[in-house]
Structure 1
Amino acid sequence: MKKVLIIAYYWPPAGGPGVQRWLKFTKYLPDFGVKPILYVPKNPTYPITDESLNREVPKHIKVIKRSILEPHQITSVLSKNETKTMSAGIIAGQEKQSPMQKLMLYVRGNYFIPDARVLWVKPSIKYLEKYLTDNSIETIITTGPPHSLHLIGQGLKKQFTNLKWIADFRDPWVNIDYHSQLKFKESTQQKHIELEKSILQDADQIVVTSFETKREFSSKTAKPIEVITNGFDEVEAFDIDLSEAFSFVHVGSLLSERNPTELWKAFADLVEGDEHFKQFFELHFVGKVSQVVLNSIEENGLKDYVYLDGYLPHLEAVKVQHQAQVLLLIEANRTEKKGIIPGKIFEYLMAKRPILAIGPEQWDVQKIISETQAGNYFDYDSHNQLKKQIQIYFQDFLQGKLNVNSQHIAQYSRKSLTQKLSKLL
């Protein structure tokens, strides 16, 4: 069986979408003749943890853990609350930042390049040089963000010229949206451009999760690029009844820039103008919701219809998706977001509930929703169209026929995607 070393930062008990991709790949790789070995940090700073995911780690997986030094571990001594907020990634949009947060962002952005995990690079290269030799490993995979992990792959590639190195980009690098919040100096921005270019040129194979990222990277390298999206686990049907309410459910973080005001206005119009709608309507959020978004919802008179469920263990969140009448998928209205395909869309597909997606024009999600016939997409200015679609959903709900006949979703199962990955190995 072929051995492959996977270098990752997010691993159980980390929660959130970053951990799911490689947790699931490692589950199915042995089915295709590949033995995965994980290299992960021993003492990481995870903004969200989900202990239930520890039970999903395959028993056949060897996991190597090595200590990591992160700025968060240092700054937490000075300001624990500020560090927790920054670690959670609340740097996008219009959240008000304290002077300490602004200082921490400046230091994080300009003195830890490409990211706060860069101090793990040199110790990891030193340790893994010997490990690769002792264990006859000929293929490695690095997955980012954090993109500093690609520097580990690059360093090992320089030491072992025959080593096959696959660089997996779960998100873009230079064009990632939060870079604009990190207060980069011009020289820092240039350094990111140079580092990204060197990784794209030195890796043997590039893997990306979206069609837009492939288009972007294709203009920067001649190396082969494969799109392998995130996906869903095929699970047995839950013995769960649909919500008796006309429930719209959003799963995942909803930061301030993901604030579709026209959607809230459409809901408000229907609540005000339709007593039946008012009686049945509910709006559920599973995960962290920005106060900016909550304020916008309250300004539209919807406070009494909102349910904040907070972060739920993964399996519980999946059950909530299966109970929903309509699933909300919301992305920020920014050009650089059109190549971001949230991992939850694939679990939404598995739930087989109608998806109402709102995001930037030419969003990659449009392609998936269109080819699977799993729901409807709208841009941020589609007030009237949103209102009409919600009314259609509601009439179907009242008649007990609010369903979706999705097509071609098997291609997004984790096992199918792992088979695709195995062919690159």
Structure 2
Amino acid sequence: MRILILTAFFPPQNSIASLRPYSWAKYWTLLGHQVTVLTPGKQISSTDLDFENPGYSVIEVDLPSWLRRLKHSYQGEPPQIKDSTRFFSIKNYLKRKAVAFFNTLRHSKGIFNSCRMPDFLDFWKKRAWDELSKEEPWDLVVSTSGPYTVHFLADKLKKKKLARAWIADFRDTWSNSFIYPGIFPFNLLEPYFEKKLMKNADFITTVSSPFASVLEKLHGLNKVHVIENGFDPEDLKTLDKRPIFPQDGKLRIVHTGTIYLGKRDPSPLFAAIEKIASSPSSRPLLNKLEVLFPGPYQANLSSLIEQYKVGDWVKMPGFLSRPEALRMQRDADYLLFLPWNDPNIDGVLTGKIFEYLFSKTPILSIGCEKIEASQKLILEAKAGLSLGNAANIYSFLLNILEDKKEKPLLENDSFLEKYKRNFLAKQLINLVIGEKNTI
């Protein structure tokens, strides 16, 4: 089959969102299909993903130059000051204020953040279509969001009979996003656009059963299927075998991923550490503890560290390459998992939870009393504990710091088999080959 994957995220871009479409491109190519990926142009970075390409093609369509400059500005790069006059000082101040306000909107409302309308790729869509219109018809088009822009392109291909089958994939929900509320009037229009687009899709896929239930209510029972994120164990084979941490006897707890304000909350852990530090008899135990939060955007993490006075033991190493993050997961004593802390939301099964499971490092889930989908998965895999509140975490930390043991060996390979990327890629394409039987 000739297959087209439409995605905003793809290697070498170092994002967890790049891994899902990459695994499809990789394994469908190895199955003998002719795969092409269309994605926005990528900027070169020292933390780029370096993955093998077994033969798929990539079409990178650059954003307009003015849009690239705007994105450069919103990322908070300090503006260049040409001289020290009052005029330029005021201009610099106003630009910083504008950038700060824009970023606040992005991270609170989801606009221009690959989640809600409007988005940067709205201005990329015409360029992408101009490139697609040069191509021969496709047997299968798979669009994976966010952002939603890729679904508009796939819908147009289907209507113009340039795609025989279309799978619309949702890594997160769109018009009823559980993270971002969007802004008026766009958030009133988005449900209309989503329903209209999805009527033309042959299949709709998402990452968990609770998310599937949400989409079924919007788009019907027969179209929606669950294809989890999963993990590719081959990513572990190429890692540096040397331990990433010094052999200093410290117990290390590592969290890799993004902190969302009020939704993924490490406060119970910090409260437990603060309680240990408050007692002269137990405080020396913390000399054997280090908690690490690598990652780019960490919401209010630094202020929480200051609030609980745990900076001596809790560190923020900054952005890491993916191999470094995987080595940290592999070599940590425990991995910290922060479930989505909202009793009304279930089904947040990110790619990160599968990285954790395949690391074979025990997982500590904290900060959410409800046992939701991600915690169920951890418990079913016999891969860790759900500690919940600060009191449970305090007792746990005291026990392991007083008597640090070798981390247990997790024997759950058979359970994890169904979450390997190659298995999930076959499962996805079989929706078309097995059920449609027209290609």
Query: What does residue 81 of structure 2 align with?
Result: none
Match runs of 1:135-150 below 5 Å: 137-150=138-151
Give the alignment's TM-score, normalised by structure 2: 0.81
From the superposition, tell whether residues 394 and 174 of structure 1 become closer, same or farther in structure 2 (CA, over 3 Å): farther
Query: What does residue 189 of structure 1 align with?
Result: 187
Query: What does residue 12 of structure 2 align with?
Result: 13
Match runs of 1:15-414 below 5 Å: 15-42=14-41, 49=45, 51-53=47-49, 55-69=50-64, 72-73=67-68, 75=70, 81=73, 83-85=74-76, 98=97, 100-102=99-101, 105=105, 109=111, 113-133=117-137, 137-160=138-161, 163-180=164-181, 182=182, 184-185=183-184, 187-222=185-220, 223-234=222-233, 235-236=236-237, 239-241=241-243, 244-257=249-262, 258-273=264-279, 274-275=282-283, 277-288=285-296, 290=298, 292-335=300-343, 337-358=345-366, 360=368, 361-379=370-388, 382-394=389-401, 398-406=404-412, 408-414=415-421
RMSD of the alignment, in Å?
3.0
Unpaired stretches in structure 1, ≥5 consecutive residues: 87-96
Task: Provide Cα deviations, 1:127-174, integer angstroms capped at 9, x if missing partner.
Answer: 3234133xxx21100011111111101111111186200011111112
The farther-off stretch of 327-336 and 152-161 is 327-336
C-alpha contact (below 8 Å) 2:363/2:383 kept by paired residues: yes
The farther-off stretch of 397-406 and 324-333 is 397-406
Task: Provide Cα deviations, 1:319-362, integer angstroms capped at 9, x if missing partner.
Answer: 11111001011244235653322211111111111111235535
Query: What does residue 428 of structure 2 align with?
Result: 421
Q: Which amino acid aligns with 2:198?
A: L
Q: Which amino acid aligns with 1:75?
A: L
Shift of 1:375: 0.9
SS in 2 for 1:415: helix
Shift of 1:373: 1.1
Shift of 1:417: 1.4
Task: Provide Cα deviations, 1:174-218, integer angstroms capped at 9, x if missing partner.
Answer: 2324433x4x11x32121111121233221011101222101001
SS in 2 for 1:219: helix
Shift of 1:121: 2.5
CA distance in 1, matches of 2:168, 2:174: 12
Q: Which amino acid aligns with 1:319?
A: R
C-alpha contact (below 8 Å) 2:36/2:58 kept by paired residues: yes
SS in 2 for 1:303: coil
Equivalent residue pairs, number: 396
Give the alignment's TM-score, normalised by structure 1: 0.83
SS in 2 for 1:166: strand
Task: Provide Cα deviations, 1:379-411, integer angstroms capped at 9, x if missing partner.
Answer: 4xx22222233345446x623354444461121
CA distance in 2, matches of 1:312, 1:67: 26
C-alpha contact (below 8 Å) 2:361/2:407 kept by paired residues: no
Q: Which amino acid aligns with 2:404?
A: L
Shift of 1:259: 2.7
From the superposition, tell whether residues 151 and 336 of structure 1 become closer, same or farther in structure 2 (CA, over 3 Å): farther
Shift of 1:26: 1.7
C-alpha contact (below 8 Å) 1:254/1:288 kept by paired residues: no
CA distance in 2, matches of 1:311, 1:229: 26
